[in-house]
Copies of this chain bind each other. A is one copy, B any other.
Amino acid sequence: MNAEIIAVGTELLLGQIANTNGQHISSRLANHGVNVYKHTVVGDNKKRIQQAIIEARKHHDLIIFTGGLGPTEDDLTREALSELIQVPLIYDEAALEHVEQFFTSRGRTVSEANKKQALTFEGAHVFHNHAGLACGSALEHEGVLYCLLPGPPREMRTMVERELEPYLATMNTSGNFFESRVLRFYGIGESSLEAKLQDLISAQTNPTIAPLAGEDEVTLRLTVTETNTARAKALLDATEQEIYARVGKYLYGFDNDSLYSKALEELACTKSTIATAESITGGGLASSLTSIKGASQVVVGGFVTYSNDAKVSQLGVRQATIDTYGAVSEQCAKEMAEGVRDRCGSTMGIALTGVAGPDELEGLPVGTLFIGVADGNETAVFKRVLSGTRETIRRRAAKEACHVLLLQKKKGD
């Protein structure tokens, strides 16, 4: 199938947000044998939506819409398509119940505007909205498959994963299926990784190897086309091994892994617990670790010691250490890690102190970071110099801490 993705929303044309929905849908469609040839963004205007559809259906047999399914008057995607192709809109019973249940459970009555979100096309397949109210639809009409998805990114993503992708899989009658495996790398840039694998990437077609720079990491997506599950797995395994032989030391996980989930996993494996002492990250490490289900078995507690006083009074860092070496120092990181481990009674203590910026601190440049890791026997301190804005430095600092935990664990193996 040849596809166009039409995002509907005046906020996109005003430049308030980027069309990340188009990107996400594109990246998912590749797994279903769909070629995306065009992205279009139009405003909340019925005539312009219809113009876009008229042009799109000349060239493509799959048109995916995102946005314009909400309750307000300027949500017009359904209406524009219905009027253009002359297929009437009807309420989907299950979707209507979903909307009604939402409001009645909150002691409110459903407005007509909100009921609109349960409208679909006569004869359409309905996509349930697992993360919101507006249902999606898939309608075949005169050789074109129209799929309508909501605009809020979380609703759209959930619907793509749980509704659109399974639906498209049933349309793929060749028996061929796509299977992907994502390899996650930390500590190596996209171009370096690509340079080390260039011959493989160029030569290989099944699986294909697609590098992509992610947030603070690089991923490789291996995608195999097969009719047989066991063969698909064998092909993926063989390619993974070739890649591992060259850049294995940067590989930290697969698919939905994150540095946080891997760090927790490693700690749980050895029945270790951990406590955090954070200055530069201000609670970001604890927050990211505890965002993972089951974290309560591993993360005992944490301290956010943003001020020097708090480092002394809460963690027992010696005032003399701060006076002599500064709060951003190897010595302070060491005492923070030992202090938090001691106070929380955990197996491990981890501490972060550094300079997030925008201004330098204690004569140290923005990006300076010390990570202390105490395990009761010894306390190791790692120095890093990170680049980026205040926001990226804080985020990367928390990830560096996880990476240090993973490296410590590897060393111990």
| Complex: chain B residue closest to A154, CB-CB | B392
A287→B296 contact, CB < 8 A: no
A360 CB-CB contact with B under 8 Å: no
Question: A29: which B residues are within 8 A, CB to CB?
Answer: 15
Question: A309: which B residues are within 8 A, CB to CB?
Answer: 300, 345
Which residues A188-233 have CB closer than 8 A to chain B?
Answer: 190-191, 194-195, 198, 202, 210-213, 221, 223
Question: A344: which B residues are within 8 A, CB to CB?
Answer: 310, 313-314
A282→B307 contact, CB < 8 A: no
Which residues A9-38 have CB closer than 8 A to chain B?
Answer: 10-20, 22-30, 36-38
Which residues A276-328 have CB closer than 8 A to chain B?
Answer: 276, 278, 281-287, 289-291, 293, 295-296, 299-307, 309-310, 313-314
A253 CB-CB contact with B under 8 Å: no
A111 CB-CB contact with B under 8 Å: yes
How close is A157's CB to chain B, nearest CB, in angstroms? 12
Option from B38, B290, B306 in Cβ contact (under 8 Å) with A300? B306
Alpha-carbon distance between A72 and B213 when the two chains are bound, in angstroms: 11
Question: A295: which B residues are within 8 A, CB to CB?
Answer: 282, 306
Alpha-carbon distance between A221 and B14 when the two chains are bound, in angstroms: 10
B299→A289 contact, CB < 8 A: no
Alpha-carbon distance between A314 and B191 when the two chains are bound, in angstroms: 47
| Complex: chain B residue closest to A35, CB-CB | B13
Question: A190: which B residues are within 8 A, CB to CB?
Answer: 70-72
A13→B42 contact, CB < 8 A: no
B299→A306 contact, CB < 8 A: yes
Q: Provided the pairs A38-B40, A70-B190 are in contact, do residues A15 and B25 lie with their beta carbons within 8 angstroms?
A: yes
Option from B154, B283, B392 in Cβ contact (under 8 Å) with A287? B283
Alpha-carbon distance between A12 and B19 when the two chains are bound, in angstroms: 10
A101 CB-CB contact with B under 8 Å: no
B358→A343 contact, CB < 8 A: no
Question: A278: which B residues are within 8 A, CB to CB?
Answer: 283
A114→B191 contact, CB < 8 A: yes
How close is A169's CB to chain B, nearest CB, in angstroms? 18
Q: For the complex, count residues of A whose C-beta is within 8 A of B.
A: 92
A41 CB-CB contact with B under 8 Å: yes
Copies in the complex: 2
| Complex: chain B residue closest to A36, CB-CB | B13
- A97-122 toward B: CB 8 Å interface, digit per residue (1/0)? 00000000000000101100000000
B314→A307 contact, CB < 8 A: no
A12→B40 contact, CB < 8 A: no
How close is A154's CB to chain B, nearest CB, in angstroms? 8
Option from B55, B131, B304 in Cβ contact (under 8 Å) with A304? B304
A78 CB-CB contact with B under 8 Å: no
A72→B301 contact, CB < 8 A: no
A13→B38 contact, CB < 8 A: yes
How close is A208's CB to chain B, nearest CB, in angstroms? 10
Question: A313: which B residues are within 8 A, CB to CB?
Answer: 343-345
Q: Provided the pairs A72-B190, A287-B284, A304-B283 are in contact, do residues A14 and B42 lie with their beta carbons within 8 angstroms?
A: no
A409 CB-CB contact with B under 8 Å: no
| Complex: chain B residue closest to A48, CB-CB | B37
A296→B286 contact, CB < 8 A: no
A390 CB-CB contact with B under 8 Å: yes
Q: Provided the pairs A19-B19, A296-B307 are in contact, do residues A26 and B39 lie with their beta carbons within 8 angstroms?
A: no
Q: Please name 15 pairs of A and B residues whose Cβ atoms are closer than 8 Å in the assembled complex, sorted by A.
A: A16-B210, A18-B18, A37-B48, A39-B41, A51-B59, A71-B191, A73-B194, A282-B290, A283-B290, A287-B304, A287-B394, A300-B310, A313-B345, A314-B343, A314-B344
